Amino acid sequence: MIPAAARPLQRLPRPRSSAALVAAILLAVSGGTSVGALAAEPNSLGNTPSGRQVWRISDYGNVQLAPREPGAPENQHPARLQPDLLKAHLEGATTLVDGVQRPLFAPDELDADVGPLVEAFGRARPDQDVLLVSVARHEGNFLVAPTAITARLFVANGRLNIVVRDARTDFYDKVRGTNMTPTWHMGSRTTPGKAVLARAGASNTRPDWLVFDLAAAPIAATPAVAPEITATSKAAPMPAPAYVQPPAPPAPPAPPTAVATPAAPAAMAPAVAPAPPKAPSPPAAAMPSHPALPPAGDAEQRLETLKRLHEKGLITREEYERKRKEIIDAL
């Protein structure tokens, strides 16, 4: 029997790091529908020996590979996508915000998203979807908190599919106030999301689901339909009501020329020709007692715009009250 001191040392398996263990658990239980903590971790989180699974874009944004939704057919993965064509397809997509179609992505947002997306599609297996969390100041105003786009992407039948759960996830203030890692709910083939998407040249499977034909050239993106109203932009003044002077009535005919009469006897006063009748003066134009009221719908829209600017902190309380009184007084 070999003494314990003389026995050769056996190499024990190295314990997994806590970060890698948490990543494996999250990746296994996410099911592709809810992704939390991944955005705030390093790039290596979620990577496996079979290849990279997570690409960090920003402090909260990331691209990752997740199991395909249960019951969905196999994807055409891996897929080799051209970065410029992928960006051209996505940058023309719009979403409905407060009743107005606005660009889905901010102007420079796709510059950071496209590279990780292309690499993820190139590594994805047929049983995996690509999940995207893209964070930006989507309203084009640095005073407005960032919002997130949460989407699921996959290639099937030669077409790129993007399903957006929420195009404007409001998370930033809550995360900053609580220091809690956000939990993202991704788009789903079976459960409709909140987004309402549109894109010229693409088709809609659902309002939240766009399909791009990868064999077709993307149509050039059009500018936003309605520009954002800022505090420095002023509403055009209401035009004063125009009054048209009615035409003057035609002048009456000239009175007949007086005919000289024979001289009367000295005792009689000479005959005096009657004075010609006065031409009737044209009737005065009927002026309304007050100018026409502005349309109620226009005043309501101006009040709503003014309220939105004040809530966003773009105008002061005094400016808000003064402009509000002007609009109400105009009624």
pLDDT tens per residue, range 42-72: 333 445 556 899 999 999 999 999 999 999 9
pTM of the model: 0.56
Would you write out the chain's pLDDT as a tens digit for each of its 331 residues?
444 444 443 433 444 444 444 444 344 334 434 444 343 333 334 455 568 999 999 999 999 999 999 999 999 999 999 999 999 999 999 999 999 999 999 989 999 999 999 999 999 999 999 999 999 998 777 778 999 999 999 999 999 999 999 999 999 888 888 888 899 999 999 999 999 999 999 999 999 999 999 998 888 866 544 444 433 333 334 334 334 444 555 555 655 554 444 444 444 444 455 555 555 555 544 444 444 444 556 778 888 888 888 788 778 888 888 888 888 888 7
Could you give the C-alpha distances from 200 to 91, 92, 103, 151, 197, in angstroms and in order?
11, 7, 12, 19, 11
Q: Domain-by-domain residue ranges, the chain? A: 18-213, 296-330
Element (H, E) at 324: helix 317-330
Return d(Cα 304, Cα 111) in angstroms, integer. Answer: 34
Q: For 193-196, which contacts have Cβ atoms below 8 Å and span 24 or more sequence positions? A: 193/163, 193/164, 193/165, 193/166, 194/165, 194/166, 194/167, 195/95, 195/96, 195/164, 195/165, 195/166, 195/167, 196/95, 196/96
Do the Cβ atoms of 66 and 30 come closer than 8 Å? yes
